[in-house]
Every structure is written in structure tokens, then in C-alpha cells.
Amino acid sequence: MKIFKLSDGVLLQHQNASYTLRYEWNALINRDRLFNYLTGILSVLDVISEDKATTLINKSLLPPIGRQEVWAAGVTYLRSMEARMEESADSGGADLYDKVYAAERPELFFKSMPHRVAGHGQKVYIRRDSAWNVPEPELTLFINAKGNIQAYTIGNDMSSRSIEGENALYLPQAKIFERSAALGPCLFVPPDQVIAKDTAIKMTIHRNNTLIYNDETSINRMKRSFTELAGYLYRECNFPDGSFLMTGTCLVPPNDFTLHEGDVISINIDGIGSLVNTVSYKPL
Ligand code: DO4
Ligand code: MG
């Protein structure tokens, strides 16, 4: 089951059929057994044609977020640990990353308020005061208010590697800025709340219509479990509308790569779809 948030309602896709409904987004998604609830209401919804569904998605798709905070986990894959140790070697902060990779407590950081999030087809921004900018493709959990994972989406944890590498205490500035988080295109709600362990995550980057980066990995290379990350996030915080949690990156472009204005980032995750965003600067 996929749920798309539209400017004037919600579109559901299940077993090759599309349905529309009017429902307040936060109330719709924030429940236990979301899949059972959605399949239970399908029979009273309006079925629409595939063409109409495509038109609605093309014209009025929004990021699949309402009032939820967006959080992120870090250094959950070996590749991320190695890349960050390299970028922080000169600042003397490299040790932090292998310690957190091995530690019982995961790294969790606040990523975004909903109004800063870009959806599929919208622009993501890079900072003008950063010389080294990268996308971070991340499977992202939707966790309900009770702390139970109900759905998955694609996340892009846009980051400044030069600012984080200069000093790890600059992490919030490396991670939080306008349009530094992208989510979409939809929420994928599996029947048993579980996503397949061998789910592939792929990223391409095009510059002037030329492919300049192309790589993929599988989420089964992650060191931690999703329930472990969600459990830590909900230990001492309440999320009345649920939350989104990006689960960390494993795809890191080479160290001489930085994003340019106009680059097109496409992230694909099996079962969810593709999140495509063009890189820009925040308008002055
Ligand atoms: O430790 C800093 C951030 C790590 C991160 O964003 C990731 O591993 O994806
Ligand atoms: Mg990340």
C-alpha cells in the first residue's frame, strides 16, 4: 500500500488500483496497524483511473509529512563511519565516529521541522558557506505516536561535509538548513510493518544531463535494527503526531565530489519508488 499526500487530499495505491480520499494527514497516518486500517476503508473510497492518478501526482504531490519532526541516525553503516573519519582527520575528531559506530547508544540528531522539507520534484538546497556538499540517501521510517514503525519513505539527508569535517560540534549547521531534508514520494505501508532485509537503495546524480554518480547498496548492511533506533528516539521524547527517522547513509560519493547548482539527485528504494530533487541555493 502506498499513500501519497496531495494538496487537496490523499491518494492510496494498492494492488494496481488508485483511490482518493479526504482525510487530515496526521490523523490518517498516526495509528497502529495502519495497513489494516487502510485496506479496511478501500471499499468505501472512490476508485480513479491510472491516468487520473498520474495527473494528480504530477500536479499536486506534497512531501508525505504533516506536523511530524524529522530526526536522523548517523554512522549506522561502516561506509559512513569511514567517510566521516576521513573528512574530520585534520580537526582531530575522527575518533568520535568509530566510537559511536561501536557504541551501544546510536547517534540520533534532529534534522528538520516539517516546513523545511522538500518533496519529490522540489528543490533541495546547498549552503553558500560550504565548499563540500553531498546528498545522503536514507531509508526513512514513519513511527507512530506509540513508537511503532508503520511505514517507510525515501529520505535525503543533504549535508555539508566541509562544515562537519571542520568541527563535529558544527553538526547542526552541517545538517539543518532550508530544504536540507527531502522526503517522498509517498509512504510505503507494508502489511506486517516490515520492509524486506535485502531492499536495495540506489542513487544517481546527473549534471547537465550527464550521469556523474551511480551506486547502490542494500539496507541489510546496516549495523543497527530499525526498532533499536526507534526505541532510543522515543526513550525520553513524546511525538504526539509520530515522527520520521532517517536511518543513515551507506552511499557516499568520492571525496573529490561536491554538488553543484542544477544537479539532479535521484534516489530509488525497492517497493517505495523514486525521490528526485534538483539542487539549488536558497533564494537571497
Ligand atoms: O555523524 C554525523 C552524521 C552521520 C550521518 O548523517 C549518516 O551516517 O548518515
Ligand atoms: Mg545521514
Looking at ligand 1, which atom is closest to the CA of residue 96? Answer: 1
pLDDT over 90 (residue 66): yes
pLDDT over 90 (residue 74): yes
Among residues 34, 60, 86, which one ends one of the domains?
Answer: 60
- As for how many domains the chain has, the answer is 2
CATH of the domain at 87: 3.90.850.10
26-30: average pLDDT: 98
C-beta 84 within 6 A of ligand 1: yes
Residue 75 exposure: Cα atoms within 13 Å on the Cβ side: 21
Same domain? 184 vs 112: yes
Residue nearest to atom 7 of ligand 1 (CA): 74
pLDDT over 90 (residue 94): no
Same domain? 47 vs 109: no
Report CA(75)–ligand 1 centroid distance (Å): 5
Same domain? 12 vs 56: yes
Domain that holds residue 37: 2-60
Average pLDDT taken over every residue of the chain: 97
Looking at ligand 1, which atom is closest to the CA of residue 164? Answer: 2
pLDDT over 90 (residue 48): yes
C-beta 57 within 6 A of ligand 1: no
Same domain? 21 vs 83: no
Same domain? 88 vs 181: yes
Residues 6+ apart with CB under 8 A from 100: 74, 75, 106, 107
Lowest pLDDT segment from 65-69, 85-89, 178-182, 226-230 = 85-89
Report CA(241)–ligand 1 centroid distance (Å): 25
Same domain? 31 vs 171: no
Same domain? 80 vs 46: no
Task: Report the SS3 class of residue 237.
Answer: coil
Terminal C-alpha separation, the chain: 40
Same domain? 246 vs 126: yes
Residues 6+ apart with CB under 8 A from 188: 1, 2, 151, 152, 153, 195, 271, 272, 273
Task: Band the pLDDT of 93: cuts 50, 70, 90.
Answer: confident
pLDDT over 90 (residue 120): yes
By most ligand atoms within 8 Å of CB, the mutation choice from 81, 82, 84 for ligand 1 is: 84
Among residues 39, 60, 81, which one ends one of the domains?
Answer: 60
Residue nearest to atom 3 of ligand 1 (CA): 74
Residue identified by cell 546547498 is: 126
Residue nearest to atom 1 of ligand 1 (CA): 74
Same domain? 167 vs 73: yes
Report CA(249)–ligand 1 centroid distance (Å): 7
Confidence (pLDDT) at 240:
98
pTM of the predicted structure, to 2 decimals? 0.98
C-beta 75 within 6 A of ligand 1: yes
Same domain? 86 vs 170: yes
Confidence (pLDDT) at 271:
96
Same domain? 125 vs 147: yes
By most ligand atoms within 8 Å of CB, the mutation choice from 138, 249, 251, 267 for ligand 1 is: 249
210-220: average pLDDT: 97
Same domain? 153 vs 90: yes
Report CA(233)–ligand 1 centroid distance (Å): 15
C-beta 201 within 6 A of ligand 1: no
pLDDT over 90 (residue 265): yes
Confidence (pLDDT) at 182:
99
Q: Do the Cβ atoms of 12 and 151 come closer than 8 Å?
A: no
